[in-house]
Amino acid sequence: MLQQLKDAITSRLPELDLVLGWEMGFDPFHATPLYIREAADVERLVVGPWAVHNLATYLPGLKGKKVGIVVKGCDSRSVIQLANEGLIRREDVTVFGLCCDGVVSHRKLREKLPADLGFVEEAQWQADVLRARVAGQEVSVRLSDVLADKCIACCYPNALGADVLVGSERTASPQPVACQESFEALSSAEKQAFWQETMARCIRCYACRNACPMCVCRDHCIATSRDPLWLGQENSPAENFMFQMIHVMHLAGRCTECGECERACPVDIPLLLLRRHMNRVTQDLFAYEAGTTVGQTPPLLTFQVEEAGINERGW
Amino acid sequence: MERFLPAAQLTALADDLAGSCHVLAPVAHAGSVVFRWYRPGMRLEFSRMASTSPKAATFPQTEPLLVAQRHEEHKQPVIEATLPPQARTVVLGCRPCGARGKEIFGPVFLGVAHDPYFARRREDALFISLVCTRPETTCFCSSVGGGPADPTGSDVLLIPVQGGFVARSVTEAGAAFLQHALFEDVGARGAEADAVVTQAQAAMPPSHDFSSAPAKLLARFDDKEFWEQQSAKCISCGACTYMCPTCYCFNITDDDLGLISRRIRTWDNCMSYTFTLEASGHNPRPTKAHRLKNRVSHKFSYYPSIHNGVIACCGCGRCIKHCPAGVDIRAIVHAAQEYAQ
């Protein structure tokens, strides 16, 4: 698959300003975004379970350039959604789509290792088994045991709307996400208590916001605006949770569930619990799933006097 | 002074301390390890470095500076300046790099300007650091003036040995702390502790020489292309800044809640657009390239230039390890150092 992708990028590169992909990062457990500008850069490209980043996050900031982008299924939904909302010009983007086998959750991987991720000495994938040496100990871990939750629930492993599709197409077999089920089963008071405790460790760094491909206000976010000052700057569970609720509401009907918010969080706050919940609500009310249909407008960007899914007049 | 703390007594020590002072310690919760104000029942986690730093002990993320309280509407408010109450704080289980962090930026708050908030917290805080036995892939403390057993900024160093920790005092306050009843006679464990320290120092990767960084970074000051390339994958969030033990920039805002208004100081973040946004609307750092340039150059060029060569980085590696995009500050400085015209 990698060679096929490299060939496709090499042939399209002359007509593009740059192509977004991944290369290996500071250790054998981390890939990092790669900006391919010249043919030689293509050699550094990697794909696979470490390619966790949704590169669509960079697209709105590259307006005016001819950009190629490598996407997994979930990332491809973000590209479609951004184009549907007019936040990027689809004709300026060349989409290199992957048929994806899933990516790792570094949080889950950490739980399978004898020591912290930072003590990795060597790591190699052999098919879907990771063999690594961590703090002097040999370990092997199956990908299925450390898959990101979004991959377990994935309905779209093959990139949607791609200009070039690479790899052999997979059939989706989405499973329910256990933590979501147990979260939904909590009472309101229990949910409140859960967020009180969890938000106590939020550092308001806004990695969740900036990693989100659909969070496009960026420099002009109401959470950091000074005039007017909408949200208190105090780092308390109440203010932190308020920020998350604003984030969720701004993503209602727009979130493509790529999970970047949760992955980016340096203190492992399970932010997808909120996003998935809101996505279920928009699906129930509007029968809408963000980023799955080219040309579709999200329900909260349109207005209808009577929504089919909302009973306004009946008792 | 040298004493021994059995591993089994660690939680008992934290529990006991929490009865008489504020304890800031690395606590595990739902897969994460962060510094929290310890309460009995929390789970201490010493086996991995916390994602956040112990900076809050001397420089909390939120600090009230004054409170204006209106008792009746339309009447003058009563304004009260607030200083943190004099109260002992024990930081238990930070790493030597985290303890050193506050020493690096201390001159900013205790130099020309005297910051009573930092001064009081610094005076009241006791740092009990855990010596590192093995460097992580992101650790580079020894390249920026620290080390796995560096005593700078610590009152006591805990050295992991068989069955517990050899506790060595660095300061007088640290020696007094070791009088606590849960510490035992060290016996013959001193030699084992020495060996652990020697081994830890030997395990560090070769040090990188950053001495040319101040001049080399300054030489790239106007090089837009260099900084655009270096910052391309940065998403301009503030994770690196907020986890950093040495970042000290702050913002001041007024939080109004009905009849009570509080002026609070909070950590600021140089990766944010609002960081240098001027009242006129002009922003001298409008892009992430401008902002990352400032972050890196402040730490490795401007700060050492005016503070006797001290690099404003303790090499803990949190900014690298937890960066959502895998930006590596070491690689950026190296690129500037190796840049060929």
pLDDT tens, A287-298?
A: 999 999 999 998
pLDDT at B341: 65
Q: Which of B31, B232, B267 sits opposite A35 (nearest CB)?
A: B232
Instruction: Please report which confidence band the pLDDT of residue B230 belongs to, taking 50, 70 and 90 as the band edges.
Output: very high
The Cα–Cα gap between A178 and A176 comes to 6
CA angle centred on B62, ends B283 and B69, rounded to 5°: 100
DSSP letter string over A91-140?
A: GGEEEEEEB----B-HHHHHHHSSS-GGGEEEEEEETTEEEEEETTEEEE
Q: List CB contacts (< 8 A) between B324 and chain A.
A: 53, 207, 210-211, 260, 263-264, 266
Mutate to test the interface with B, among A217, A226, A233, A235 (most CBs of B within 10 A): A233
Q: What is the pLDDT of residues B114-126, one digit of tens each?
A: 999 999 999 999 9
User: Tell me, what's the ipTM?
Assistant: 0.94
Return the residue of B nearest to A57 by Cα: B235
Q: What is the pLDDT of residues B125-142, one digit of tens each?
A: 999 999 999 999 999 999
Does residue B116 have a cis peptide bond before it, meaning omega lies within 30 degrees of 0? no
Distance of residue A137 Cα from the nearest chain B Cα, in angstroms: 14
Return the residue of B nearest to A51 by Cα: B325
> Does residue A22 or residue A299 have the better pLDDT?
A22
Return the residue of B nearest to A234 by Cα: B62
Q: Which of A26, A120, A226 sits opposite B320 (nearest CB)?
A: A26
Distance of residue B194 Cα from the nearest chain A Cα, in angstroms: 21
Query: Do residues B313 and B299 touch, judged by C-beta distance below 8 A?
Result: yes
Query: Residue A93 above 90 pLDDT?
Result: yes
pLDDT at A228: 79
Q: Which of A35, A107, A235 sits opposite B31 (nearest CB)?
A: A107
Contact B324 A224 (CB under 8 A): no
Query: Residue A312 above 80 pLDDT?
Result: no
Mapped onto helix, strand or coil, the DSSP state of residue B137 is: coil
pLDDT at B227: 98
Distance of residue B326 Cα from the nearest chain A Cα, in angstroms: 5
Instruction: Please report which confidence band the pLDDT of residue B298 belongs to, taking 50, 70 and 90 as the band edges.
Output: very high
pLDDT at A308: 82
- Between strands A18-24 and A31-36, the pairing is antiparallel
- CA atoms within 13 Å, Cβ hemisphere of A277: 17
Q: List CB contacts (< 8 A) between A58 and chain B.
A: 233
Range with lowest mean pLDDT among A100-109, A225-234, A248-257 = A225-234
Contact B243 A30 (CB under 8 A): no
What is the residue-averaged pLDDT of chain B? 95
Q: List CB contacts (< 8 A) between B233 and chain A.
A: 32-35, 58
Tokens representing A307 are 């929504």
Contact A207 B239 (CB under 8 A): yes
Range with lowest mean pLDDT among B46-60, B75-89, B179-193, B239-253 = B75-89
Instruction: Please report which confidence band the pLDDT of residue A20 belongs to, taking 50, 70 and 90 as the band edges.
Output: very high
| Predicted TM-score of the model (pTM) | 0.95
The Cα–Cα gap between B56 and B37 comes to 10
Q: Which of A32, A209, A269 sits opposite B233 (nearest CB)?
A: A32
Contact A201 B32 (CB under 8 A): yes
Q: What is the pLDDT of residues A125-165, one digit of tens each?
A: 998 999 999 999 999 999 999 999 999 999 999 999 999 99
pLDDT at B72: 85
Tokens representing A298 are 């999200």
Mutate to test the interface with A, among B235, B241, B270, B280 (most CBs of A within 10 A): B235
Query: Residue A219 above 80 pLDDT?
Result: yes
Query: Residue A300 above 90 pLDDT?
Result: no
Distance of residue B210 Cα from the nearest chain A Cα, in angstroms: 19
> Average pLDDT for residues A6-16, to the nearest whole number?
97
Instruction: Please report which confidence band the pLDDT of residue A251 belongs to, taking 50, 70 and 90 as the band edges.
Output: very high
Provide the strand spans (E) within chain B.
Answer: 2-6, 22-29, 32-37, 43-44, 62-69, 78-81, 89-94, 125-130, 156-161, 164-169, 184-185, 250-257, 260-267
pLDDT at A306: 81
Query: Residue A62 above 80 pLDDT?
Result: yes
Query: Residue B38 above 90 pLDDT?
Result: yes
> Average pLDDT for residues B304-309, to the nearest whole number?
96
Contact A236 B236 (CB under 8 A): no
The Cα–Cα gap between A215 and A315 comes to 37
Query: Do residues A94 and A121 touch, judged by C-beta distance below 8 A?
Result: no
Amino acid type, B229: Q
Contact B237 A210 (CB under 8 A): yes
Contact A268 B236 (CB under 8 A): no
